[in-house]
Amino acid sequence: MKILMASHYFASHKSGIEIIAEELFLGLAAREQEVVWLAGDATPPPEPVGKSRAVSLPIFNFVEDKIGLPFPIPTPGALRKISRELSNTDVLLLHDCLYLSNIFAFLVAQLRGVPTIINQHIGFVPYRNPVLNAAMRLANAILTRPMLSRATQVVFESEKPRNFFGQLHFRTSPEIVFNGVDTDLYRNRGSAETKTGLRREYGLPENGPIILFVGRFVEKKGLHAMKRMVDLRPEWTWVFAGWGPLDPGHWNAANVRVFSNLRGPSMAPLYRSCDLFVLPSTGEGFPLVVQEALASGLPVVCGADTLEADPAMKAFVRGSPVYTNDDDRTAREFVSAIDDLLDSDAGLKNKSEERRAFAVSRYSWHRAIKRYLEIASRLAPGAASLSAALEASTGKVP
């Protein structure tokens, strides 16, 4: 079976949607499927895997470069590549709707009768700028909703976007498929590891609370509120792993450490070196970094609306309100929640183990990829090698 998958960027861009797309690319390729991954050429594509390959689309990326909003603009050459790949594919898999290359691929697929799966990661992203808010509402009304209603199958990554689009009429009942997490990579500290030793590896203070943020340094991730938190607790060390225009390295704060080139194997030990994970973001579907933190055993404080992604995690994650236009209030309430969790978690190793056990039992790439393969097979029932692939899916997803 040939699956044409489209996202705005490749995983080397280091954001959640692209990393999720990469996991699907690798997992489906491991099931002997031919996956062609289309994405903008802002960062390098992955290497081919078996019969699967990546195709870089030439884009203009000035919107992200200027304001941090990920909105690549495909060139005519990119549109020709998309059309050419769609001429011989069984199923189209799109990651979100509001990207021009994805919209074009969807329209061509509709004209050619290619079954389309849309993996909708988000609902509405609130911005401070009223013009951006209005543009987001308009785009959802004239693009996202019509695309979701016409897609052959819609898959939501969490309950939150499903609830947002709950009144929409779908061709087929939508599914919720939680993203997985690599629980071998993201884990508790091993018997040979110490928090002090891990902190030394990253040049972090050996004593005192260390609070971790992982994500792009942009408005929707809550960087303005994070700056106020840093000011409120100068005695804590605040670690930021990511990149973007709102770089905490420019805050001139002695208690801030920034890591911009970590990913996967180099990122996982950083979770284990810290005491708590924080993410005051808005407009998320289900941030993959929350799952990674839980699998690493960390207590988590995130935006209250993020808990809507999976109500089951309320027993393990603390939600705090995010006030879009009041960073001081957001910061005060987050710091209060962090204080409570640090106090209640002190010396209780079993809490760390419970959080990890929850993540391991709940978020599995093996189950997610198997379900995507089952959905694709239903849409393209004559696809070759399908039976072998589904049989193979009882094994471990790399």
Residue 317 has pLDDT above 90, yes or no: yes
Question: Where is 1: in which H helix or E strand?
Answer: none
Confirm whether 189 is domain-assigned: no
Query: Is 224 inside any structural domain?
Result: yes
Buried b (16+ CB within 10 A) or exposed e, 112-124: eebbbbbbbbbbb
pLDDT, residue 67, reads: 80
Task: Report the share of the chain in percent with pLDDT over 70.
Answer: 94
Residue 188: inside a domain? no
Residue 127 has pLDDT above 60, yes or no: yes
For 161-193, the pLDDT digits (tens) are 999 998 899 999 999 999 999 999 999 998 889
Residues 327-366: pLDDT tens digits?
Answer: 999 999 999 999 999 988 765 557 899 999 999 999 999 9
Q: What's the pLDDT score for residue 397? A: 42
Contact (CB, 8 A) for 282 and 319: no
The answer to pTM > 0.95 is no
Residues 223 and 175 occupy one common structural domain: no
pLDDT of residue 128: 77
* Strands 91-95 and 116-120, sheet pairing: parallel
Q: How far apart are CA 228 and CA 75, in angstroms?
A: 40
Same domain, 153 and 248: no
- Which residue range is the domain that position 204 belongs to? 195-361
Secondary structure letter of residue 309 according to DSSP: G
**Do residues 71 and 8 share a domain?**
yes
Residues 12 and 154 in one domain: yes
Q: Are residues 239 and 379 in the same domain?
A: no
CB 276 within 8 A of CB 270: no
Beta bridge partners of 4: 36, 92
Please determine, for residue 221, whether its predicted confidence score (pLDDT) is greater than 80: yes
- Region of poorest pLDDT, from 9-18, 307-316, 385-394: 385-394
**356, 386: one domain:** no
Q: Which residue type occupies 159? A: E
β-partners of residue 73 are 60
Q: Are residues 36 and 176 in the same domain?
A: yes
DSSP3 helix / strand / coil % (the chain, rounded to 5): 45, 15, 40
Please tell me the distance from the alpha carbon of residue 319 to that of residue 307, in angstroms, as a whole number.
6
Residue 136 has pLDDT above 70, yes or no: yes
SS3 232: helix
User: Looking at the structure, do residues 48 and 161 belong to the same domain, yes or no?
Assistant: yes
For the record, the structure tokens of 269 come out as 């030990």
Co-location of 237 and 209 in the same domain: yes
Q: What is the pLDDT of residue 82?
A: 97
Q: Is 104 within a domain?
A: yes
Q: Is residue 209 assigned to a domain? A: yes
Count of CB atoms within 10 A of residue 296's CB? 28
DSSP structure class, residue 47: P
Q: Quick one: pLDDT at residue 263?
A: 87
Cβ neighbours for 94, distance < 8 A, ≥ 6 positions apart: 5, 6, 102, 105, 106, 116, 117, 118, 119, 151
At a CB cut-off of 8 Å and minimum separation 6, what does 179 contact? Answer: 20, 23, 157, 286, 288, 291, 363, 365, 368
- The pLDDT, as a whole number, for residue 170 is 96
What domain count does the chain have?
2
Regarding whether 14 and 137 lie in a shared domain, the answer is yes
Q: With respect to residue 214, please indicate whether it lies within any of the assigned structural domains.
A: yes
Confidence of residue 390 (pLDDT cuts 50, 70, 90): low
Where would I find the H helices in the chain?
A: 16-30, 62-67, 76-86, 100-112, 130-139, 145-150, 159-164, 195-201, 223-232, 268-273, 288-295, 327-345, 349-362, 365-379, 386-392
Tokens of 21: 């797309």
Q: What is the pLDDT of residue 275?
A: 95
In Å, what is the CA distance from 352 to each residue of 18, 316, 359? 28, 10, 11
Q: What is the mean pLDDT of the chain?
A: 91
Q: Which pLDDT does position 124 carry in this prediction?
A: 78
pLDDT on residue 150: 97
Whether residues 144 and 207 share a domain: the answer is: no
Distance, in Å, from the CA atom of 106 to the CA atom of 79, rounded to the nearest integer, reads 12
Predicted pLDDT at 348: 56
Is 239 or 63 the better-scoring residue by pLDDT?
239
pLDDT digits (tens, 9 = 90+) for 260-288: 989 889 999 999 999 999 999 998 889 99
Q: In this structure, is residue 45 part of a structural domain?
A: yes
In sequence order, the β-bridge partners of residue 5 are: 37, 93
Residues 370 and 310 in one domain: no
Report whether pLDDT(398) > 50.
Answer: no
Q: How confident is the model at residue 95 (pLDDT cuts 50, 70, 90)?
A: very high
In a domain, 190, yes or no: no
239, 213 Cβ separation under 8 angstroms? yes
Q: Is the pLDDT of residue 391 over 70?
A: no
Query: Is 44's pLDDT higher than 70?
Result: yes
pLDDT digits (tens, 9 = 90+) for 13-30: 888 899 999 999 999 999
Residue 396 predicted with pLDDT over 50: no
**293 vs 382, more confident:** 293
CATH code of the domain covering residue 316: 3.40.50.2000
